[in-house]
Structure 1
């Protein structure tokens, strides 16, 4: 049965620099970068060497613990460099792209005529399995397990996030094909959640259970949808797929090609003309923002400001990301900033702050944390922006003192670091909530499995 989810707790962070609904082709990068760290928990086993010629879709490495889990090259070209860190850890695989792209042909498939095992085998062989993640632990899904349900979020409510209604327009065939394939992977429902009042091509696709959601961020987070529709208990598994990644899976089925091209929102107050660009995963940041950015004292982020990763101009677009954000670097200090009225910042408190008077005002915020790291202070602000039926302060502390029984009891099985991005934003103690949750999930995965 469809649900109309209404989120009351949360916070919309309205920033300057929202992308206009026009799309241009980004400058083609000469070098594309794949980082194994984008695939959390994966220890890579290389299948290529420097100088190796490769087509788009052919495997660069596989998981050391599972040879069937392969990770493909987004472009055709030559392996130019393998960057290693301490203890020869693989940090980057750099590929010099061909001028004309060649794709490995995996063959066209009709998902409606395939069994679940055939779909699974095909997605694993083509390198599309990493797009499927699981709760608990927020890692790549274990193909040996069967989920009780699969969730797709067709709405992104993060600051300056791409508008999926616009990005997915015209992709109906690919979306239908990929959702049909997903229905073969579970005996439960495939839940698709879109923005209430929107015009998403994901809404009401046959075979999927459609829901709508409204309210402030994190209304678009898949963790919010899982909590409200089909919570994860001990021993249960739920899989999730990003709406943008559905397109790549669908095109693989329809064309037989692994096409890692994305529509990326280039946003933020430091961007001259915020817009959408078409680019391939691993593209150079320099090429994505070429001639369209004020580089002076600027932080470039692959992803959104709450949960994205900092990149310099020499960095690259993250494998799962379809947003680039550029905002001012917060390396300045305000004289008596703690003791004067605040008009140009967002705050959930009303103590000398006035953002609540203008809820629709857009702000030009920088990266300054406006305070130093200190012990947890109990304020009650976490609960105001945290819509899940979980106690955020208690679960964070349980992670810090590594009490596995308490972490289980408090609901760690259904959360991911991004679910705590807002509590980290409003935290007066400046605690790294997302890192705390990530370390807690890793500990549970190691000890409990």
Structure 2
């Protein structure tokens, strides 16, 4: 049954440089990269050696813990580099793309007629399974575990994030195929949220429970949706997917081909012409930057949105799960007595010498400066004002820091992932790395309890 969800706690961060609703085809990259850090907790086993020829959609490595789970190349070409780190840990796999692309083809599958076993086997073999994440632990879902429900958030509230309604327009057929296939993998429901009053591509689709959501960020995070509809208890599993990944899964089911194409938002105050580009997973970010242009020398490229993305070099590559690249000013300067004077050009959740609360719709040109140094937690109550989940954020962060398993469980660590704490990290006057703390807590919980 559809529900209306209104989120009151949160904070919208309106930034300059939102991508315009126009799309161009990006210049094809010469080299594509698979970054192993995108698959947290995975131990890869290579199927190919350096110098091997590979087709688009052909497996390059598999999950050591579950060999049937394959990870495929986004393009056809030559595996030119296997970059390793400490203890020969694989960091990156680089593929030099062919000028003429060839793709590996599988037999298409009708999701309405296929069994759950057929759907599962197809997703594993085609390389689509890694798009399915699970809670708790924020890792790739285990194929033999059955989730009690599946969640997708198609309501976007993160700053500078891609507009899902725009990027998925016209892809209803693929979305419906993905929903029909995934519905076979859970005895529960598929829950999808859309913005209240928005013209969403999910509005006319079937086979799931629709929820209309309104409110400030983090209302658009899937964790907020889970907390309001079907919270996670110990021993339970919930799967989550991004809307753009549903398109790839649906297209693979219908055509038998793995097509890693994405419509990516290039946004931020440092971009001359913020807009959308059609490109592929693992493509060079420079192909987008040079097309739109950058209006200053000192800037930071963020692979993802400004709250949850990772710092990247301009010659870096698009992440496996990302459909947004943010470019903002590098904040390497310090204001003299900045903490003693009124602030008019920054966003703050407090009213102490700050005035952003008077202009809720104003757009700001913020940089990466933290405006302060790391210090011990200061109890201010700010986290609770922007954290809509039914969880005590400060207490959970501290429990993760001193690794108290009982407290971590009781305070709701099973239910959250790092991105749920991105906004509390933004407003934190102690400059604590909230997302890093939660990530370490989840890893410890999984290691000790599983």
| Secondary structure of 1:351's aligned partner | coil
| Secondary structure of 1:326's aligned partner | strand
Taking the TM superposition and a 5 Å limit, the aligned residue runs for 1:76-225 are 76-225=76-225
Instruction: Compute the displacement of 1:295 (Å).
Output: 5.2
Taking the TM superposition and a 5 Å limit, the aligned residue runs for 1:297-336 are 297-336=298-337
Q: Which residue of 1 aligns with 2:44?
A: 44
1:28-71, CA deviations, whole angstroms, 9 ceiling, x for partnerless residues? 10000101110010011111111111111111111121111111
Instruction: Compute the displacement of 1:204 (Å).
Output: 4.3
Runs of 4+ in 1 over 3 A off after TM superposition: none
Q: Distance in 1 between matches of 2:100 and 2:302?
A: 29
Q: Distance in 2 between matches of 1:85 and 1:295?
A: 33
Q: Which residue of 2 aligns with 1:251?
A: 251
Q: Which residue of 2 aligns with 1:402?
A: 403
Taking the TM superposition and a 5 Å limit, the aligned residue runs for 1:226-375 are 226-291=226-291, 292-294=293-295, 296-375=297-376
| Secondary structure of 2:232's aligned partner | coil
1:73-129, CA deviations, whole angstroms, 9 ceiling, x for partnerless residues? 111111011111111111110100011221100121100001111100110011100
| Secondary structure of 2:112's aligned partner | helix
Q: Which residue of 1 aligns with 2:14?
A: 14
| Secondary structure of 2:185's aligned partner | coil
Structure 2: 5+ residue stretches without partners: none
Q: Does 1:23 align with 2:23?
A: yes
| Secondary structure of 1:19's aligned partner | coil
Q: Which residue of 2 aligns with 1:419?
A: 420
How many residue pairs get matched?
A: 449
| Secondary structure of 1:14's aligned partner | coil
| Secondary structure of 1:122's aligned partner | helix
1:330-353, CA deviations, whole angstroms, 9 ceiling, x for partnerless residues? 000111111111000000111110
Q: Quick check: 1:16–1:364 contact (8 Å CA) kept in 2?
A: yes
Q: Quick check: 1:204–1:210 contact (8 Å CA) kept in 2?
A: no
RMSD over aligned CA atoms reads 0.8
Q: Quick check: 1:342–1:353 contact (8 Å CA) kept in 2?
A: yes
| Secondary structure of 2:14's aligned partner | coil
| Secondary structure of 1:113's aligned partner | coil
TM-score (ref. length: structure 2): 0.99
Q: Which residue of 2 aligns with 1:55?
A: 55
Q: Which residue of 2 aligns with 1:74?
A: 74
Q: Quick check: 1:137–1:416 contact (8 Å CA) kept in 2?
A: yes
| Secondary structure of 1:111's aligned partner | coil
Structure 1: 5+ residue stretches without partners: none
TM-score (ref. length: structure 1): 0.99
